[in-house]
Amino acid sequence: MILQLQTSQHTQFLDITQQVQQAITELKLTQGAVLLFVRHTTAALTINENADPDVLQDLETIFQRLVPWQNNYHHNEGNSAAHMKSSLLGASEIIPVKNGALALGTWQGIYLCEFDGPRTRQVLVQPLSATS
């Protein structure tokens, strides 16, 4: 299954926890794990705080300090910072599934991280089977 996701800002942490839970329900995945894989090189996936949006804003600020948008890069599309952030957070997340539900901690949400938007992004949802 592929989730089609529309981001609305240049840099954005988009909460996709509900869409992922809905996907595993539709896929009838009850035990095991789900692999999420973003098919782009200027976006990423991460798991972080789902309660206070200030956390996500702080993450964006820290990223901007670590990897400034302009810094004499060679890539002529000018978005090397987005590529770097993509590699630092990674293209995938794998989350255990128990009794049909994501086995996330209380404060964990799943985020599509947009680093060069707004764009339409694809996240592949692949169930993985557990040993009995």
**C-beta closer to its own copies: residue 5 or 55:** 55
**C-beta closer to its own copies: residue 25 or 77:** 77
Least distance between its own copies and beta carbon 8 (Å):
21
75 token code pair: 């890539």
**C-beta closer to its own copies: residue 10 or 84:** 84
**C-beta closer to its own copies: residue 78 or 118:** 78
Least distance between its own copies and beta carbon 35 (Å):
5
**Positions that interact with its own copies (CB under 8 A):** 27, 29, 32-33, 35, 37-41, 46-49, 52, 54-55, 57-59, 61-62, 65-67, 71, 73-77, 80-81, 83-84, 86-96, 103-108, 122, 124, 126-131
Least distance between its own copies and beta carbon 63 (Å):
8
Least distance between its own copies and beta carbon 74 (Å):
4
Question: 111 - beta bridge partners?
Answer: 15, 46
Nearest to 86 by CA among 109, 108, 62, 113: 113
